[in-house]
Amino acid sequence: MALTRHTDAVAPVRASGPVSIWLSRHGSNARGSLGRLLRQPVASLMIVLVIAVTLALPAALSLVVKNVSAISGGWDNALDFSVYLRKGIDADAAWNLARLIEQRADVESVSLIRADDALAEFKAQSGFGDALDQLSENPLPHTLTVRPSAYNTGLSMTVLREELDNLPETELVQIDTEWVQRFHAILDIVRQGILIGSALLAGAIVVVIGNTIRLEIENRRDEIEVTKLIGASNAFVRRPFLWSGFWYGLFGALLAIGLVQYGLVLLRPAVTRLAGLYNSGLSLLSLDGREVLAILGVGIVLGLTGSWFAAARHMRAIEPR
């Protein structure tokens, strides 16, 4: 019986590459570190809660500033000029003057508020409608609301105001920007304060995680000595502790996001009720995707930083006897 030769021989199995080995070791360390955290739920939860509260404080304050800035964005019309015309100016002349001013390069738009419309609005909102009906004539003048162009500088705004004030039809030009500028200056100070406070709180998180990792290293001192005795490097021994810091930072950031969002849920009914009283469409802004990723990134980086410093400092002091 003739023997047949198989040409499609089975190829030998190649050993895994260095990248696969590196990923496998990190996966094993990640699972092991997560398992140790889950086996100590109370202690781990306390540490995660401290990290979460520390991250949630600056995030909540930043969210408050974000909402206040959004509200103040509707105050841009405070930068408008209110040009009160003389009493003898009729509506047609006021309209022609508005169109003439609107042709200026330093003016974005001009709107005319007729005296009759202004009086009707005042009657509706003031509650003195019956008393105002007793007036023999309308005391309010025609008013032009002049919105300067966004390209104006402080000097050009001053020039525009002076030229509007010098018009023969003008009785008074009024603008009130100082309180808006002060308000935005206060917001800038608050933002800087949040940054400084966030840096201090970040240092506190690094200390908390570093102290936690230090205690874990001391509890596993014998295991580390045996591992080093058989030839393990400091980087190999340090890897599980880095993953512990990673999990602490990740879970703390996730809980911080949950706390901030829960706070918004508690505040939303009160804000909705307040907006209804003022007939406003005000609504709370929540964390967007970029802010969520920023909190997660900061938590993870701080967790890795604290665990790295603790492991690098105390690992060198542990050598097999």
Q: Of 174, 189, 221, which one is at a domain's C-terminal end?
A: 174
Distance CA 220, CA 93 (A): 89
Examine the domain organization and report whether 116 and 44 are in the same domain.
no
The answer to whether position 49 is within a domain reads yes
Angle 180-186-191 from CA coordinates, rounded to 5°: 125
Tell me which residue range forms the domain holding 68. Answer: 26-74+181-315
Examine the domain organization and report whether 200 and 307 are in the same domain.
yes
Examine the domain organization and report whether 195 and 61 are in the same domain.
yes
Examine the domain organization and report whether 112 and 134 are in the same domain.
yes
The answer to whether position 3 is within a domain reads no
Distance CA 308, CA 304 (A): 6
The answer to whether position 237 is within a domain reads yes
Examine the domain organization and report whether 206 and 270 are in the same domain.
yes
Examine the domain organization and report whether 61 and 205 are in the same domain.
yes
The answer to whether position 279 is within a domain reads yes
Q: What is the pLDDT of residue 78?
A: 55
Q: How many residues does the chain have?
A: 321
Q: What is the pLDDT of residue 202?
A: 93
The two beta strands, 107-113 and 81-85, are: unpaired
Distance CA 54, CA 67 (A): 21
Q: What is the pLDDT of residue 13?
A: 41
Angle at which helix 289-315 crosses helix 41-72, to 10 degrees, equals 140
Examine the domain organization and report whether 67 and 86 are in the same domain.
no
* CATH code of 148's domain: 3.30.70.3040
Q: What is the pLDDT of residue 151?
A: 76
pLDDT tens string, the chain, 321 residues long: the values are 344 444 444 344 444 577 777 777 778 888 888 888 888 889 899 999 999 999 999 999 998 888 887 776 555 555 778 888 888 888 888 899 989 998 988 888 888 888 788 777 766 766 666 666 666 677 788 888 888 887 777 678 888 888 888 988 888 888 766 666 777 788 889 989 999 999 999 999 999 999 998 888 888 887 877 877 777 777 778 888 899 999 999 999 999 999 999 998 898 888 888 777 666 667 778 888 899 999 999 999 999 999 998 888 877 766 666
Q: What is the pLDDT of residue 204?
A: 92
The answer to whether position 212 is within a domain reads yes
Examine the domain organization and report whether 253 and 273 are in the same domain.
yes
The answer to whether position 12 is within a domain reads no
Three-state helix/strand/coil letters over the chain: CCCCCCCCCCCCCCCCCHHHHHHHHHHHHHHHHHHHHHHCHHHHHHHHHHHHHHHHHHHHHHHHHHHHHHHHHHHHHHHCEEEEECCCCCHHHHHHHHHHHHCCCCEEEEEEECHHHHHHHHHHHHCCHHHHCCCCCCCCCCEEEEEECCCCCHHHHHHHHHHHHCCCCEEEEECCCHHHHHHHHHHHHHHHHHHHHHHHHHHHHHHHHHHHHHHHHHHCHHHHHHHHHCCCCHHHHHHHHHHHHHHHHHHHHHHHHHHHHHHHHHHHHHHHHHHHHCCCCCCCCCCCHHHHHHHHHHHHHHHHHHHHHHHHHHHCCCCCC
DSSP bridge partners of 109: 147
Examine the domain organization and report whether 214 and 274 are in the same domain.
yes
Examine the domain organization and report whether 114 and 149 are in the same domain.
yes
Examine the domain organization and report whether 33 and 101 are in the same domain.
no
The answer to whether position 15 is within a domain reads no
Distance CA 292, CA 20 (A): 31
Q: Of 120, 155, 174, which one is at a domain's C-terminal end?
A: 174
Angle 197-304-190 from CA coordinates, rounded to 5°: 15
The token duo for 18 is: 């260095």
Overall number of domains in the chain: 2
Does the pTM surpass 0.85? The reply is no
The token duo for 299 is: 């938590």
Examine the domain organization and report whether 88 and 170 are in the same domain.
yes
Q: Of 136, 157, 174, which one is at a domain's C-terminal end?
A: 174
The answer to whether position 4 is within a domain reads no
